[in-house]
Structure 1
Amino acid sequence: MSRKGYFGKKGKRRKNTREIKPLILIVCEGEKTEKYYFDSFEVSNAYVKVEGEGRGANVLLKAAKKYFKKEKFDQVWLVFDKDEIDDQKFDESIKEIKKKGYNPIYSNPCFELWYLLHFVFYQTSLSKEHCLRKLKEKIPEYEKNIGDMYERLKDKMKLAIKNAENLEKQKKVINSYSKKNPYTNVYKLVEELRKYER
């Protein structure tokens, strides 16, 4: 995602740019895994800033506000996992994110579920460890923070989106965000970024 020539000093949007393109902020819980993935989209019709915070959902909102003070983004997406977060805190975090007008993109149990859905529709409740084991069956060399997952999986993206949408339909009857397992709505951010690709 090239942003060269758009962000001036201190990350400010340059003035007097010829065409107005949307400015999108993606704040990720993971410092590398999610950041590497979203940075790999070849977006040319929007300016995208991806930040990896290394912090959970309950503090990502503060991080987003920090970036928003420096630049008025058109869209803000917060990407995080259920992981070990307490159910109540997780649910409250999502409600607060939505209340602020930001987009919560979350996976239960972990972001790797999105990768797994590129291969198979999986609907049985699972732990993070189980999810990683299942993914390694499909990609034996997979390790956390691998930098080329977008390239490895992009040909299977349509299947992943379809599988994630099917999961969402199944989990619609569950009112608590924390109880939706497995679940990921990463596909919503993926579809948004694809609108601005070359």
Structure 2
Amino acid sequence: MPRDKKGLSRKSGGQRKDPTTFFVIASEGRESEPQYFAHVADFINTKSLGRLIKIEALRREDNASDFRRVLSMLDEYKKKYKLSDKDQLWCLVDADKWPEKNMAEAQQLCKQKEYEFCMTNPCFELWLLLHHLDFKTIDEAAKNDLLKNPKTTSSKNHLEQVLHAILKKEFGESYRKGSISKAHLEKIPFALRQAFELELEKNHWTFDAFCTRIHVLLQQIFQSEPPDYPLPE
């Protein structure tokens, strides 16, 4: 969420006196995740919740896909701004990019730095697919294909292909990284319900199962004041 370094909401190195909670999100994905959370931020800003919650989706200028680079963005933010106890800093990474030992290191570093850690297996597109595909309707073979997520074309993996087909059918839109549709927003309630029902947060260190904590992050964002739809208890 772009803002001046000495904006009204907080000042560089200054003491926080406002009641606003900041959710600062650094992701391995350079474009898709920041765009998605920018849409969520825009939605929040149109509601009364915007007085209490601010989302800052940090953007990388480089293409380095390394969890250490993701963590460094949060480190730089933490050095620049005075944080309150309510603020949350989140590190989002995909399991398909790194071996298990790297993810264990990333999780441990986040714990030391008091950052929230979110690994999505196999990748961020799983979270987007939860907005549109009812996982109760697909068989184990189809789930296994989604989990393995092989390359199907030179530019798309299996999850991206499935997501592309659904968006084309429902909205007449294609799926492209870096061009995340606002159409996902209206489906957030469904994505949240599915993720909690599937207990994806409990699989967070199981590399042979779907997992994510993005729904936990969104529930944290919305918990101060309910949005226009019910959230899972």
TM-score by length of 1: 0.80
| Equivalence for 2:32 | 33
> How far off is 1:180 after superposition?
4.4
Instruction: Describe how 1:104-123 pairs up with structure 2 within 5 A.
Output: 104-122=117-135, 123=143
> How far off is 1:193 after superposition?
2.2
Q: How far, CA to CA, are the matches of 2:206 and 2:71 in structure 1?
A: 18
Does the CA contact (< 8 Å) of 1:82 and 1:108 recur in 2? yes
Secondary structure in 1 matching 2:117: strand
Q: Report which of the two structures shows the higher radius of gyration computed on alpha carbons.
A: 2
Amino acid at match of 1:106: M
Please state if 1:177 is matched with 2:205: yes
Q: Deviations over 1:28-56 (max 9, x none)?
A: 21221110111112331223321023533
Amino acid at match of 1:12: S
Please state if 1:162 is matched with 2:161: no
> How far off is 1:160 after superposition?
0.7
Q: 1:70 aligns with which of 66, 80, 94?
A: 80
- Say which structure, 1 or 2, has more relative contact order (CA 8 Å, 6+ apart): 1
Does the CA contact (< 8 Å) of 1:60 and 1:78 recur in 2? yes
| Equivalence for 1:136 | 164
Does the CA contact (< 8 Å) of 1:35 and 1:51 recur in 2? yes
Q: Measured at CA, do residues 92 and 50 of structure 1 come closer, stay the same or move farther in structure 2, by a change above 3 Å?
A: same
Does the CA contact (< 8 Å) of 1:114 and 1:160 recur in 2? yes
Q: 1:95 aligns with which of 73, 95, 108?
A: 108
Count the aligned residue pairs.
Answer: 190
Does the CA contact (< 8 Å) of 2:37 and 2:55 recur in 1? no
Please state if 1:60 is matched with 2:70: yes
Q: How far, CA to CA, are the matches of 2:177 and 2:37 in structure 1?
A: 15
| Equivalence for 1:12 | 12
Uncovered stretches (5+) of structure 2, i.e. residues with no partner: 45-49, 136-142, 151-156, 169-173, 228-233
Does the CA contact (< 8 Å) of 2:94 and 2:122 recur in 1? yes
Q: How far, CA to CA, are the matches of 2:207 and 2:134 in structure 1?
A: 19
TM-score by length of 2: 0.69
> How far off is 1:166 after superposition?
2.9
Secondary structure in 2 matching 1:52: coil
> Percent of aligned positions with the same letter in both sequences?
24
Q: Measured at CA, do residues 83 and 143 of structure 1 come closer, stay the same or move farther in structure 2, by a change above 3 Å?
A: same
Does the CA contact (< 8 Å) of 1:6 and 1:14 recur in 2? no
Q: Measured at CA, do residues 181 and 59 of structure 1 come closer, stay the same or move farther in structure 2, by a change above 3 Å?
A: farther
> How far off is 1:14 after superposition?
6.4
> How far off is 1:164 after superposition?
1.4
